[in-house]
Amino acid sequence: MKKLFAILLAAVMLLSVAAVNAEDAHQLIYGSTTEISGDFAPDAWWTNNATDKMLRDFTTDYGTVVTDQGGALVINDTTCENIEGEMNEDGTKTYTVVLNEGLVFNNGEPITIKDFVWPTAFSCSAVSSEVGAKLTGYMTIVGGQEYYDGTASTISGLRMLDDKTIQVTVVADKVPYFFDLSYAGFTPFSMKYWLGEGVDIADDGEGVYFKGLTKDAIEEQLNFARFHAGEDRITAGPYNLVEFDQASKQATLVKNEYYQGNFEGQIPSIEKIIITKAEDATWADALKTGAFNFYDTITDGTQVNTAMDLIEDDENVDKLGYGYDFVQFDRPGYGKLMFHSDFGPTQFINVRHAIAHLLDRNEFANTFCNGWGGIVNGPYGTAMWMYQEGEEWLDENLDNYAYNPEKAVELLVEDGWVYDEKGNDYVEGIRYKKVTPEEAGTYAHNVTLEDGTILMPLIIEWASSEGNSVSDLLSVMLANGEQTAAAGVKINQNVMSFAELLNYMYRDATQGDKYGVPTYCMYNLASNFTPLYDQAYSFTLDPKLVADGYNSDFIFDEELDKLSMDMVYGVEAGDDDAYLEIWQNFIQRWNYLLPEVPLYSNIYVSVFPDWLEGYDQSSYWDFAQAILYADIVE
């Protein structure tokens, strides 16, 4: 046994000595919570994995329209000489984009106008669907639908006027649109690399069209381009994806020497970035030992506190040779309680208000986020420019539904929840309300008295997803809270998988008849907002769109629907004041109707090594964008 033990120890020592450390003393190693899937296609053509997207962002730039640090759309001066938009008499809108000359890919080859135009033209081709790409450009560009259907041989609304001028005409029903500058967005991808040598695009004066584009002609090259990483991967971003090791799920990015800068002309200083996978159970130890030294967007309050402990751990600084720093920013979204506002007790606005008053949201947010979060009173994030411009207005005009069980009872009494199950005056237990047959609907708990009176009990059927700590806290603070029972409200928690919760939430009968029947009044989940705040159709009254999953709150309010549509389709691009005014009215209306109760909005934290200087991240300015401005100091 002694011999065996000695051999084992010797083997361990040998391995420890043989193992070679990373080449550079200060190497940025990014621990990603999402695994790299390895699909590096242009934009989310096939997948929408967060880390794949980040790698895509690192290797892709020179878009003609990009978002800035605040998430606003801006023209990329590095790429464009000029972008002009003009309304046409038929209601369509034409953008003319004039490109700068001299841009090159990472192999030194010049970027041509065709490299800018082909992805948009491809989105108008039926071949894109044949290869499984999720593209809908043909629905936006004049002539796109005809080209897609095969009834036209060119895309009449997409033109290459000369070697540096692109013209795109947008269909009438998509303009005016507050974010319509996005229609003039063209990002270059090497056509040769993505589609192969045999495919070309041309414009003979009647619109752009493909030559030689078929599924068979491009599929092999397209799949190679999607999944390939290496020195020969042709891209045009600040970094080159030189390696992706499938076995270790590790990617290596190296600075693109040909890169001419982002929209502000900024080029990166850091030579190399490694992306590796972080695990929930061991991320703190991995940071502690330097297995990776950048941990992005910690969302959980407990984890944030662990990170703070690590940052203050001087002993570890001695062991590791460096310490950690952090940056914090607000989540562009919130966790929420969502109601179905068209059936059961939650169809009544007073019930929704009462539930909000029965939950101490400040305490909830503080407990759930461990001090790293707060609350909002509407569908917005505190990082949005609209919030920052109108914070005072929002404070003055929105109801914050403070914890107030007495107020909740008042609201319920005012709304007619004043009976017991026999129709007598309410004394204790669950409250009931006399409802019409229309209001009663299919709600399972209704009671019909001998005289035909229908009583609806104040029982809220709540669908909550399994293994969810928000649900656990809600159960304690709301569903099983003494104040809830005292108010005569009963909340039944129904735990299910998230997929099933979505089926009920969308009332998706295609997944089974039971899902098509309104069953649950309340759901808990979360929402995040993209920089382009567009709530159009989210509160639609159109039954067809509702059936397709829009207006999942099932709140049918003409004013809310109109405001949500006008906000983006009733305002000219650039008219920020008009947009802000409608946005505020929309938020106020939403806050009054309360289709959802915002529960918490986290403060996110990213941890990075103290030798990284100039790093500043925000809600709409992520790692791939912010790192260009950072530098490594020895």
Partner 1 sequence: MGKYILKRCGYIVVVFLILSFLMYALYNLIPSDPARQELEPMRQSLKADEYETLYRQTRQRMGLDDPLVVRYLRWMGLWKDTDGTFNGVVQGNFGYSNLYKRSVIEVIKAPMGNTIFINIFSTILSLGITIPLGIYCAVHKGKRFDSATQVITMLGYSIPVYIIALVFMFFFCVLWRIFPIMGTKTPGMTYANKWQEFVDMLYHIALPVIVMTFGSLGGMTRYVRSSMIEALSMDYIRTARAKGLKEKVVIYSHAWRNALLPVITSILGWFLSIFSGSVIIENTFSLNGMGKLYWQGLNNLDFELVLAIQMFYSIVSLVGSLLIDISYGLVDPRVRVDK
- Residues of this chain, 400-439, that bind partner 1 according to CB under 8 A: none
Single out the segment in contact with partner 1 by CB under 8 A; choices: 79-87, 277-285, 344-352, 421-429: 277-285
The interface with partner 1 within residues 126-145 (CB under 8 A) comprises: 129, 132, 134, 136, 139
- Provide the minimum distance between the beta carbon of 576 and partner 1 in the complex, in angstroms, as a whole number: 21
The interface with partner 1 within residues 521-550 (CB under 8 A) comprises: 529-530, 532, 534, 536-537, 540, 545, 548-550
Omega within 30 of 0 (cis) for the link into 457: no
Cα dihedral 36→38→41→43 (10° resolution) = -10
Single out the segment in contact with partner 1 by CB under 8 A; choices: 78-86, 246-254, 304-312, 486-494: 246-254
- Provide the minimum distance between the beta carbon of 42 and partner 1 in the complex, in angstroms, as a whole number: 14
- Provide the minimum distance between the beta carbon of 241 and partner 1 in the complex, in angstroms, as a whole number: 14
Distance CA 169, CA 152 (A): 16
Query: Which of 3, 19, 150, 425 touches partner 1 (CB under 8 A)?
Result: 19
Query: Which of 64, 67, 446, 503 touches partner 1 (CB under 8 A)?
Result: 503
How many residues sit close enough to partner 1 to count as binding (CB under 8 A)? 73
Site string for partner 1, 213-232 (x = CB under 8 A): ----------x---x-----
Q: Which is nearer to partner 1, 39 or 421 (CB)?
A: 39
DSSP string, 214-276: -HHHHHHHHHHHHH--STT---BSSEEEEEEETTTTEEEEEE-TT---STT-------EEEEE
**Dihedrals φ, ψ of 132, to 5°?**
85, 10
Distance CA 210, CA 123 (A): 12
> Taking CB under 8 A as the rule, does residue 513 contact partner 1?
no
- Provide the minimum distance between the beta carbon of 216 and partner 1 in the complex, in angstroms, as a whole number: 12
Distance CA 20, CA 16 (A): 8
Please list, in sequence order, all residues whose beta carbon lies within 8 angstroms of the beta carbon of residue 172, skipping any fewer than 6 positions away: 90, 91, 92
SS3 417: coil
> Taking CB under 8 A as the rule, does residue 18 contact partner 1?
yes
Residue 456 is encoded by which pair of tokens?
């609806």
Query: Which of 72, 74, 291, 398 touches partner 1 (CB under 8 A)?
Result: 291
In DSSP terms, 286 is beta-bridged to none
Planar angle of CA 513, 516, 519, nearest 5 degrees:
110
In DSSP terms, 86 is beta-bridged to 94
Please say whether the beta carbons of 138 and 147 come within 8 A: yes
Q: Which is nearer to partner 1, 184 or 355 (CB)?
A: 184
The interface with partner 1 within residues 437-466 (CB under 8 A) comprises: none
> Taking CB under 8 A as the rule, does residue 48 contact partner 1?
yes
- Provide the minimum distance between the beta carbon of 291 and partner 1 in the complex, in angstroms, as a whole number: 5
Please say whether the beta carbons of 255 and 261 come within 8 A: no
Edge-to-edge strand list for the sheet holding 158-160? 80-87, 93-99, 165-170, 158-160
Query: Which of 2, 23, 216, 314 touches partner 1 (CB under 8 A)?
Result: 23
Planar angle of CA 142, 147, 152, nearest 5 degrees:
100
Q: Which is nearer to partner 1, 179 or 393 (CB)?
A: 179
Q: Which is nearer to partner 1, 12 or 202 (CB)?
A: 12
Of 244, 257, 236, 229, the residue nearest 190 (C-alpha): 236
Query: Which of 101, 151, 216, 248 touches partner 1 (CB under 8 A)?
Result: 248
Query: Which of 292, 343, 462, 604 touches partner 1 (CB under 8 A)?
Result: 292
Q: Which is nearer to partner 1, 399 or 508 (CB)?
A: 508
> Taking CB under 8 A as the rule, does residue 334 contact partner 1?
no
The interface with partner 1 within residues 472-501 (CB under 8 A) comprises: 497, 499-500
Please say whether the beta carbons of 164 and 152 come within 8 A: no
Distance CA 157, CA 208 (A): 8
> Taking CB under 8 A as the rule, does residue 313 contact partner 1?
no
- Provide the minimum distance between the beta carbon of 548 and partner 1 in the complex, in angstroms, as a whole number: 5
Residue 382 is encoded by which pair of tokens?
């505190």
Distance CA 373, CA 299 (A): 9
- Provide the minimum distance between the beta carbon of 609 and partner 1 in the complex, in angstroms, as a whole number: 13
> Taking CB under 8 A as the rule, does residue 87 contact partner 1?
no
**Dihedrals φ, ψ of 493, to 5°?**
-85, 130
112 residue type, one letter: T
CA torsion through residues 76, 81, 85, 88, sign = negative
Query: Which of 319, 371, 391, 631 touches partner 1 (CB under 8 A)?
Result: 319
Q: Which is nearer to partner 1, 81 or 130 (CB)?
A: 130
Query: Which of 189, 380, 506, 586 touches partner 1 (CB under 8 A)?
Result: 506
**Dihedrals φ, ψ of 530, to 5°?**
-80, 165
Q: Which is nearer to partner 1, 30 or 368 (CB)?
A: 30
> Taking CB under 8 A as the rule, does residue 20 contact partner 1?
yes
- Provide the minimum distance between the beta carbon of 615 and partner 1 in the complex, in angstroms, as a whole number: 19
Residue 491 is encoded by which pair of tokens?
């909340």
> Taking CB under 8 A as the rule, does residue 153 contact partner 1?
no
User: Which of the 8 DSSP states describes residue 205?
Assistant: S
